[in-house]
């Protein structure tokens, strides 16, 4: 079942996640719920924190429209600083230029606990950095100025209030 996407600055989004240690049915169920929530919201990636679960796992979208899960990911190397337009399901309707790297090398586990190493560049590298940021308790707005972050905070508080009102009706 699709779950509501948590809106920044909810605490679950600003707290580093715990590593996944149990690669059983619970993880499969969580990954399924994350996929459904991401598809409903039309995202190209989603972290567990975005449906309120503080565990180190996320889905990452490839350019061909397929997705793969990353469990306990680590960035091993990054190179080529770039500035890219970025958005996030947890910060609806806001996009801004964010400092990132063109290339990253990551290692991660899959749903059965097997380790993989991946060198990615371009959009895939971008999505990986965005999702791993989430798992470290960061959202892309953390890379922006304090002034911008303040304005986004105001916007998100208004949005939260409007959503709560909608739910009551
Ligand atoms: Co995001």
- Model confidence, pTM: 0.95
- CA dist 8 and 12 (Å) reads 9
Q: Which fold has domain 11-163?
A: Peptide Deformylase (3.90.45)
pLDDT range class, residue 142, cuts 50, 70, 90:
very high
Q: How far is CA 4 from CA 34, 36, 37, 63, 111, in A?
A: 10, 10, 7, 25, 23
Output the pLDDT for position 166.
86
Give residue limits of the domains in the chain: 11-163
Which of 25, 85, 131, 169 is the catalytic position?
131
Ligand 1 midpoint to CA 136 (Å) = 12
Ligand 1 midpoint to CA 90 (Å) = 6
**pLDDT (tens digit, 9 = 90+) per residue, 34-53?**
999 999 999 999 999 999 99
Residue 85 among the catalytic residues? no
Adjacent-strand bridge partners of 104: 78, 120
H helices present in 59-145, as ranges: 122-135
Neighbour count for residue 4 (Cβ, 10 Å): 13
Ligand 1 midpoint to CA 44 (Å) = 9
- CA dist 106 and 120 (Å) reads 8
Specify whether the backbone of 93 is left (phi greater than 0), alpha (psi in -120 to 50) or beta: left
Ligand 1 midpoint to CA 26 (Å) = 23
Rounded to an integer, the average pLDDT of 122-151 is 97
The DSSP secondary-structure symbol of 107 reads E
Residue 123 has pLDDT above 90, yes or no: yes
């Amino acid at each position: 079942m699709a779950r509501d996407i948590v809106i920044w600055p909810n605490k679950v989004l600003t707290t580093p996640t715990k590593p996944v240690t149990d690669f059983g049915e619970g993880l499969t169920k969580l990954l399924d719920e994350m996929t459904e929530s991401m598809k409903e919201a039309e995202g190209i990636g989603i972290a567990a924190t975005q449906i309120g679960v503080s565990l180190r796992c996320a889905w990452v979208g490839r350019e061909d429209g397929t997705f793969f899960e990353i469990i306990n990911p680590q960035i091993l190397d990054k190179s080529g600083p770039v500035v890219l337009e970025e958005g996030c399901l947890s910060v609806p309707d806001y996009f801004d230029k964010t400092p990132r790297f063109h290339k990253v090398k990551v290692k991660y586990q899959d749903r059965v606990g097997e380790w993989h190493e991946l060198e990615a560049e371009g959009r895939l590298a971008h999505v990986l950095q965005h999702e791993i940021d989430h798992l470290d308790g960061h959202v892309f707005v953390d890379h922006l100025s304090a002034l911008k972050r303040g304005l986004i905070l105001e916007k998100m508080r208004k949005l939260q209030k409007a959503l709560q009102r909608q739910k009551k009706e």
